[in-house]
Amino acid sequence: MLFSLKKEQLDKLANSHIVPDFPNAEMIFAIFETNPDIVRDVLPHPLKPSADARGVAFVGKYPETNFNPGYNEGALLLNCEFKGERGAYCLSMPVDDDMAMVAGREVYGYPKKIADSITLERNGSSAVGSVIRKGTEIIRIECQLDHDASDDFFGELAYPTVDWDGKKCQKVVSFLFKHFPGPGGNLDYLPRLIREPVLFRSLGELKTGHGQIKLSSTDYDPLGEIPVESTISIVYGRFHNTMLPGKVVGRVWNPLRFIKHAFFKTDIVPIILDGFNPNQVDKAKIIAQKAKKY
């Protein structure tokens, strides 16, 4: 039974090695220029802005994986650097499957939330990716696919490499801060900086063309606060993706410096901020102090 595994089941888990694989993924990417001042404010220390002040948004359909039934996903990331290595800091990653949300959030620290719907449709030379959450379309990428794109469309964000089978691919590194609220109201532990690489292998042709990306906000998803100042490229294609093992590459030793970046992963904080009543502060403190006795 799953509530209490037997020794032979634990042995199986101890000897299993799953590298998350996403064959036949259908994806549309939008790479754009944004405001460097906002990038500097949004990136937590010790991440540093990249020289280009760019962002990446995508919508993906994963018809199959080696760990879970297929699901759909969107994301918003900002280019950054850590100790000279190029990467991307993830600000949002809506999904439409609870197990994909739990695995990405609790293992790696991806800021995953459940979306209302995530769709990616291609109709001839037109492709549209859409993410709707809390009744609002927070990501929309649309493109007329006029011509072929090259494998290096990620630009400076990606590292060209080969996988263990010798196949050419692009490696993109995500930098994530893994942290959880503690039961007493503080952070459960010092936040951990996670480095997590992903290999992208294109399957067949990649298409690009003219289009646009629109980022919008809900009270709980402030994607619209990241301005799209100009669209650099939009690329559609099919990929075989592999998430490589992540690792802890740093700690946040000064939580007070980090704390302003700690509240966009859940929906409760906007509710608290919106309902804040300064006239009730003293009463709330008294209740909280009395509650410690129970």
Residues 53-96: pLDDT tens digits?
Answer: 999 999 999 999 998 889 999 999 999 999 999 999 999 999 99
Work out the average pLDDT over 171-192.
90
Please state, in angstroms and rounded to a whole number, the distance separating the CA atoms of residues 88 and 109. Answer: 13
Confidence of residue 281 (pLDDT cuts 50, 70, 90): low
User: 98 with 108: CB under 8 angstroms?
Assistant: no
- Does the pLDDT of residue 271 top 90, yes or no? no
Where exactly are the structural domains of the chain?
18-265
Question: Which pLDDT value is given to residue 284?
Answer: 63
- Kindly report the average pLDDT of the chain as a whole number: 93
Strand partners, 276: none
User: 95 with 109: CB under 8 angstroms?
Assistant: no
Work out the average pLDDT over 17-33.
95
- Does the pLDDT of residue 293 top 90, yes or no? no
Q: How many CB atoms lie within 10 A of CB 173?
A: 20
- Tokens representing 228 are 């799209």
Work out the average pLDDT over 210-220.
96
β-pairing, 230-243 vs 192-202, is antiparallel
Confidence of residue 275 (pLDDT cuts 50, 70, 90): confident
Work out the average pLDDT over 202-230.
96
- Does the pLDDT of residue 270 top 90, yes or no? no
- Does the pLDDT of residue 290 top 90, yes or no? no
Work out the average pLDDT over 23-48.
97
- Does the pLDDT of residue 24 top 90, yes or no? yes
Distances (CA, A) of 125 to 32, 148, 209, 231: 21, 12, 9, 19
- Does the pLDDT of residue 141 top 70, yes or no? yes
β-pairing, 168-178 vs 206-215, is unpaired
Question: Which pLDDT value is given to residue 139?
Answer: 98
Question: Which pLDDT value is given to residue 62?
Answer: 98
Question: Which pLDDT value is given to residue 278?
Answer: 73
- Does the pLDDT of residue 291 top 70, yes or no? no
- Does the pLDDT of residue 204 top 80, yes or no? yes
Question: Which pLDDT value is given to residue 215?
Answer: 98
Question: Which pLDDT value is given to residue 17?
Answer: 82
CATH code, 18-265: 2.40.400.10
For residue 46, say if its preceding peptide bond is cis, omega within 30 degrees of 0: yes
Confidence of residue 18 (pLDDT cuts 50, 70, 90): confident
List the one residue out of 159, 182, 239 whose CA is nearest residue 205: 239
Looking at residue 44, the DSSP 8-state letter turns out to be P
Please state, in angstroms and rounded to a whole number, the distance separating the CA atoms of residues 205 and 239. Answer: 10
